[in-house]
Amino acid sequence: MVLFLVGAALFSGCVREGPAGQTVPVALPAGPPQPNTPDQLAGLVQDAAAYARIVGKEPALAEFSKKEGIFSHGDVYIYAYGNQGTLLAHPYQTESVGTNRLDFTDARGLAVIAIGNYTASTGGGFIAYLYPAPDGGVIDEAAKDRYVPKIGYVCPAGPGWWIASGIYFADLDGADPVPEPIAAMIRLEERGAEFGRTHGREAAFAEISNRSGMFVDPEGHYLTAYDYNGTVLSHPYLTDAVGKNLVGWKDAFGMEIVRSAAETARAGGGYVIFIWPNPNAGNREEIKIGYMLPVDGTWWIGSGVYLSEITGEPAYYPAHPS
């Protein structure tokens, strides 16, 4: 076992501090188990940041690049970026090291690296995104049909660079096959789609817009309805937007959220991770894990779970451009 005694003065963010500023031992065993909770993921990244500050940037990057390194545990590993978006280390994307990936998006258009960069600049925290599931130990970013939800944690590692890691939702403790808040949201959406097919558009729109109705659950999850052109048909909170086309509505990082969601629904449905106002947090913008379902050939519904419901730690982002 390798053991580093790390003082709080070594950290510029993502600090793991003991009581009253005491020095905290950070244990880095040669083969620790794969993290399977958000807290364990955060701990791994925070420990890797501490390691980088002790051994220096270049030795740390060399370690982070190893598939069998002390911070690599199968599907969970450390990757590193410069603050301008240049990939510095990645055990599964070695061919991209040295390239600028600030414009990289997941399969639905979420600007993953730009969001990670912003998160690092605010001290670090949790993010979420879609990323290819590994196939035989290989991660193929071109395989758009293999992108699945992943929770990430970002931490500044030193002046001008940051590190991160992630866990696929299916690997989180208690997931069957996804965390229960997500499973409950999808069940709510499936009931909404069936209601729409059974009772028709107008009855469904009236129920979806009702904040006390059957499609706003006790946890505050709700349904929205759109046509495939991006026009809002029903929404319990954005009532002023009903009848408006939002297909070009972008988040602060350039993702066209409604266009992506509509295309996903038209293709048969699936996950879209995006940044959206949280009505239970003063409409501050948070990462949301969304799921879209077609109802018929003319309209679709969406819902989502804010990332903070899974991590317990809210993280806020700049508002949509006006």
| Mean of per-residue pLDDT scores for the chain | 90
Per-residue confidence at 305, pLDDT binned at 50, 70, 90? very high
Domain 180-311 belongs in CATH node 3.40.50.2000: no
Q: 320: Cβ–Cβ under 8 A, 6 or more apart, which residues?
A: 249, 250, 251, 252, 277, 285
pLDDT of res. 101 = 97
- Tens-digit pLDDT profile for residues 82-137: 999 999 999 999 999 999 999 999 999 999 999 999 999 999 999 999 999 888 87
pLDDT of res. 202 = 97
2-170 matches 180-311 in fold: yes
Per-residue confidence at 143, pLDDT binned at 50, 70, 90? very high
Tokens encoding 147:
């992108």
In the chain, the amino acid numbered 80 is A
pLDDT of res. 136 = 80
Going from N- to C-terminal start, the domains of the chain cover 2-170, 180-311
CA pair distance 219, 195, nearest whole angstrom: 20
- Residue 88 φ/ψ, nearest 5 degrees: -105, -30
pTM: 0.89
In the chain, the amino acid numbered 255 is M
Give the full edge-to-edge strand order of the sheet including 284-294.
232-234, 224-227, 299-306, 284-294, 270-278
- Tens-digit pLDDT profile for residues 8-57: 334 445 644 433 444 344 445 444 568 899 999 999 999 999 999 999 99
**Mean of the pLDDT values across residues 60-80?**
94
Has residue 146 got a pLDDT over 50? Answer: yes
pLDDT of res. 276 = 93
- Tens-digit pLDDT profile for residues 261-287: 999 999 999 999 999 999 889 999 999
Has residue 5 got a pLDDT over 60? Answer: no
- Tens-digit pLDDT profile for residues 162-216: 999 999 999 999 998 999 999 999 999 999 999 999 999 999 999 999 999 999 9
pLDDT of res. 222 = 95
Tokens encoding 221:
């999850």
Has residue 320 got a pLDDT over 90? Answer: no
Per-residue confidence at 322, pLDDT binned at 50, 70, 90? low
- CATH superfamily, domain 2-170, is PAS domain (3.30.450.20)
**Mean of the pLDDT values across residues 210-232?**
95
